[in-house]
């Protein structure tokens, strides 16, 4: 708690030892004089002997009482850690007193349980979302396969069902690939380091890889790239560019325009991908980089909501950042910032 003074364990024990000796000595002296006064008519013992006899039990009693004051927070912490080990991440401990190390231990415990609770929630949501994303295309495949068993269907209808089955198998394949890649990035299974390569050339390759999509929608490309060299994981960064460009194509209207820029400014590389689609609402922008979130339900069959989450994780892993500027009916602009390494 702010405003309260804290002392270290070392300082506490110095003060405690000094006060303990003072209190025991004072109480022993008083008790010795009292006992000598009471027993003066029966027997006579030196004061040192009386102080020795009295100080031992007195010191043990005081030490027991004072040690409970010190060990009580440790006992509470130990009990709380046992509960956390059993899976209870909802525990929070209040401040144990004025000893700085104990207060920090309690604060760190609360931070740990909060992080574990958040991780558990994310994991539960992730499993739930994965299950749902798998279930949808599997049910679709089963349904269309059942329809194919009906021999009365026309060849055109049967071909449509086959196309739907292939579409959903591709969705499943993409989902599995994205989940595996996301897991690798999350667990830092892919090292951020890599070889140096021309980033502008990689962006051009990403555009050409998606040529069928932007030509089909008759999208006008405005590409202006500064020559730039980047050192990193080339395959991971290609995933970033293809995802962002593919999204821009997806949400651009037929006959729309896609603007791609690469600028080198000092020790920073900046890539912007802009479309003139319908834009993204303020509410959706707050969740756009979350796993399985899809702002536009009309394009749900074209993705699984993992693309931008993967992009953000890859960039964070590589030391980069991504931001979004968007207005409804005015398009969206994703900006990627990378350090020149």
- Provide the pLDDT for residue 298: 45
**Residue 185: partners with Cβ closer than 8 Å, 6 or more residues away:** 236, 310, 313, 314, 317
Span(s) in the chain for CATH 3.30.565.10: 195-339
Class of the domain covering 195-339: alpha beta
Q: Are 334 and 322 in contact (CB under 8 A)?
A: yes
Q: Are 207 and 336 in contact (CB under 8 A)?
A: no
Q: Are 339 and 319 in contact (CB under 8 A)?
A: yes
- Provide the pLDDT for residue 262: 95
Q: What is the H or E stretch that residue 317 is in?
A: helix 307-317
Q: pLDDT tens-digit profile of 301-336?
A: 444 467 788 888 888 877 889 999 988 888 899 999
* Distance between CA atoms of residues 310 and 70, nearest Å: 48
* DSSP 8-state assignment for residue 277: S
Tell me, yes or no, if the pTM score tops 0.85: no
Q: pLDDT tens-digit profile of 266-285?
A: 889 999 999 988 888 888 77
- Provide the pLDDT for residue 317: 79
User: What phi and psi, each to the nearest 5 degrees, are found at residue 264?
Assistant: -110, 120
- Provide the pLDDT for residue 228: 92
User: What phi and psi, each to the nearest 5 degrees, are found at residue 196?
Assistant: -85, 135
Which regions in the chain score pLDDT beneath 70? 1-21, 23-71, 95-101, 118-133, 178, 182, 184-193, 291-305, 341
Q: pLDDT tens-digit profile of 220-251?
A: 999 999 999 999 888 888 889 988 999 899 88
For 121-186, CATH number out of 3.40.50.800, 1.10.287.130, 1.10.150.20, 3.30.70.370 equals 1.10.287.130
Span(s) in the chain for CATH 1.10.287.130: 121-186
- Provide the pLDDT for residue 121: 59
Supply 176's token pair: 């599995």
- Provide the pLDDT for residue 297: 47
* Distance between CA atoms of residues 158 and 150, nearest Å: 9
Supply 52's token pair: 């020795």
How far CA 245 is from CA of 42, 78, 105, 238, in Å, comes to 103, 52, 47, 11
Beta strands (DSSP E) in the chain are 195-198, 220-225, 229-232, 257-265, 268-275, 321-326, 332-339
- Provide the pLDDT for residue 259: 94
């Amino acid at each position: 708690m702010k405003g309260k003074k804290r002392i270290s364990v070392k300082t506490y024990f110095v003060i405690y030892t000094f006060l303990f000796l003072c209190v025991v000595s004072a109480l022993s002296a008083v008790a010795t004089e009292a006992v000598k006064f009471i027993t003066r008519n029966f027997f006579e013992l030196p004061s040192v002997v009386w102080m020795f006899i009295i100080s031992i039990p007195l010191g043990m009693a005081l030490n027991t009482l004072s040690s409970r004051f010190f060990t009580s927070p440790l006992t509470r912490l130990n009990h709380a850690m046992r509960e956390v080990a059993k899976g209870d991440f909802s525990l929070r401990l209040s401040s144990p007193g004025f000893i700085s190390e104990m207060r920090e231990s309690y604060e760190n415990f609360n931070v740990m349980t909060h992080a574990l609770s958040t991780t558990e929630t994310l994991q539960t949501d992730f499993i739930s979302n994965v299950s749902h994303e798998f279930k949808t295309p599997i049910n679709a495949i089963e349904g269309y396969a059942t329809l194919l068993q009906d021999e009365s269907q026309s060849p055109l209808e049967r071909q449509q069902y086959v196309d739907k089955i292939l579409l959903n198998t591709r969705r499943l394949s993409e989902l599995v690939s994205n989940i595996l890649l996301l897991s690798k990035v999350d667990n830092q299974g892919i090292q951020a380091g890599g070889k140096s390569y021309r980033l502008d050339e990689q962006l051009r390759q990403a555009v050409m890889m998606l040529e069928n999509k932007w030509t089909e929608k008759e999208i006008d490309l405005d590409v202006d790239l500064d020559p730039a060299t980047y050192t990193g994981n080339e395959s991971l960064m290609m995933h970033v560019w293809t995802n962002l460009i593919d999204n821009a194509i997806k949400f651009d209207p037929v006959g729309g325009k896609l603007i791609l820029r690469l600028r080198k400014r000092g020790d920073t590389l900046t890539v912007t991908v802009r479309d003139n689609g319908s834009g993204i609402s303020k509410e959706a922008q707050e969740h756009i980089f979350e796993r399985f979130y899809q702002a536009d339900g009309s394009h749900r069959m074209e993705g699984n909501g993992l693309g931008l989450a993967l992009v953000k994780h890859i960039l964070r892993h590589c030391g980069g950042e991504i931001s979004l500027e968007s207005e409804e009916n005015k398009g969206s602009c994703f900006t990627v910032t990378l350090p020149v390494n």
